[in-house]
Structures are given as structure tokens and as C-alpha cells.
Amino acid sequence: MSSKLGFAGINPRNHTLLIVDDEEDLREILVYQFQKDGFNVLEAGNGAEAFEIIKSRKVDVVISDIKMPGGNGVELLDNVRRYNPDVPVVLFITGFAEITVEDAFNKGVEAVFAKPFDRKVLLNTVLQALVPKTECWQPRTWCGETPLDIDVISSELQVVCKAKVINLSQGGLFISVEDRIPTVGEKINFKIHFDEGVVLCIEGEGVVRWVRTNQGEFPRGCGVEFVGLAGRAKTHMLELINFLKTRQYIC
């Protein structure tokens, strides 16, 4: 990528990535590829080593394996979020199931990739994660105590279903669905309804990252990552997220 700008004008030369993996071969491949894309790249062989680097260096994005001796990825994520809830962005790459996708997003991961993964998708995710949230969306006061009505339009079935927004977070939302739950990876269009005397709607696009189908302590539904917000929605969403003071990426 050299001197070219990446996604949304992001210049890789201005950002530092930390690659964390105990598999030296894979780690070296990722380091080489991201350096080739123009990023400043650091590396660590486990979570403990990575956390020491994060405390001493400015790191914008961490790309970490989960299962590692000497400090795994989940421990690293917990330490990072206690140290600084906002940065760096953390992405998981894993071939195992030490943590569910739902739990990973709840802890503040911005993406989870299963091995083998598509490097171009990983690169685009890194670039997108570096876009300031102020350039993506901004919102309206909502206390979070009363579920909001939301229309969900499936990209696969092109049908509208009624649902409820239970939680909003920095990168997405959790919607409670009584009927058909969209599948993981499915793209949807949504419209969130606010009624404060004057009707306000926030419209956007999203992709389903995890689903919960059981009827237990928690409601059935799905975690949706924001892909984009339409029109005036961009002037409302960030204000709302800041008001809620959430640190989760997807609730």
C-alpha cells in the first residue's frame, strides 16, 4: 500500500499494529504482510509479552490468537480493557472455541476470525476499525431502560420483521426477535424508532455476528454489527453511545 491511503482515507504509516501469536510462522507472515501494506508492526509470542508492549508503546490495533501458553488472548483482552477501555482495537484470530463470539464481542473485541482466514477481509477490518467513530455515526438521547422498536429487513428473504433493541453499544446492537432470527453473516437493513412527540428514526445497515436461540435467562435474538447509517442517523448515533457510556463493541 506504500504511500497510498487505505479505507476512508486511513494512512497505514500513521498506525501501529501488534501481532500476537505463539505460532512463529503465522506471526511472521502477518507481520510481513502488514508491513508491506505500510503499517508499523510490532509482534509478541503471547498475551503477557503483548501487554507489556501495550503499556510501553502506542498501539492502535491488536491482532491476537486466543490459545497461547504464557498468557492467552482472552486474558490479554481483559488486561487491555482494564488498562484502557478505548484503545487499542482488539481483533481475535482463532482455530479453537475458548470463547464464544457473543462473549468476545461483549468483552470488547471488534472482530473474530476463524483460521484459515481471508487476509484481505482482515486488512479491510483493520482499516475500518481505525476510522474514528465520530466519522461513522452520532445519536440521540435514550436511557436504555425501555426497548426501542426496530424493523429488520432480511437481505436474504426481503421480509420485514418487528423486533426490539435491547442494548446499543459502540459497534452494534442486540435485537430481541420473536420470529425468525437472521443467520450469522446475514446482512440486514434496520430502522430504529424513537417517539418523543416527534417521530425519529435511525436507519442503517448491519451484519449479524452471533445469535442466541435459547429461551433461558436472556432473550433470544442476535448481535448486529453496524455497517453503515443513513442520512441524519450519522448525526445521532455517537451522542447516544456516549450517553450510555458503553464499552462493549456489540452487546
Same domain, 16 and 126: yes
Is 25 part of a structural domain of the chain?
yes
Same domain, 63 and 114: yes
pLDDT in tens, 133-178: 555 544 333 344 456 778 787 766 566 677 888 777 777 888 888 7
Predicted pLDDT at 133: 59
pLDDT at 24 over 90: yes
Same domain, 55 and 123: yes
Predicted pLDDT at 173: 85
Helix 24-36 crosses helix 119-129 at what angle (to 10 degrees)?
60
Same domain, 92 and 185: no
Which phi-psi region, left, alpha or beta, contains residue 22 (left: φ > 0; alpha: ψ -120 to 50)?
alpha
Higher-confidence residue of 10 and 76: namely 76
pLDDT at 74 over 70: yes
pLDDT in tens, 218-239: 788 888 988 887 765 655 666 6
What CATH number has the domain bearing residue 125? 3.40.50.2300
d(CA 227, CA 111): 13
Q: Which domain holds residue 221?
A: 148-244
Beta strands at 160-168 and 148-154: parallel, antiparallel or unpaired: antiparallel
Highest mean pLDDT of the ranges 86-90, 123-127, 193-197, 247-251: 123-127
Predicted pLDDT at 236: 63
* Residue 243 one-letter amino acid: F
Which phi-psi region, left, alpha or beta, contains residue 48 (left: φ > 0; alpha: ψ -120 to 50)?
alpha
Same domain, 124 and 170: no
Sign of torsion over alpha carbons 174, 222, 130, 49: positive
pLDDT at 111 over 80: yes
Least trusted range by pLDDT, from 41-50, 92-101, 147-156: 147-156
Same domain, 178 and 231: yes
Among 213, 222, 150, which Cα is nearest to 185's? 222
pLDDT in tens, 6-18: 555 789 999 999 9
Q: Are 65 and 93 in contact (CB under 8 A)?
A: yes
Q: What is the mean pLDDT of residues 74-86?
A: 88
Band of pLDDT at residue 33, cut at 50, 70 and 90? very high
Place of cell 503471547: 46
Looking at the structure of the chain, the number of domains it has is 2
Least trusted range by pLDDT, from 37-41, 43-47, 58-62, 134-138: 134-138
Same domain, 105 and 174: no
Q: What is the mean pLDDT of residues 67-93?
A: 88
Q: What is the mean pLDDT of residues 84-105?
A: 80
Q: What is the mean pLDDT of residues 57-81?
A: 92
Same domain, 13 and 112: yes
What CATH number has the domain bearing residue 202? 2.30.110.10
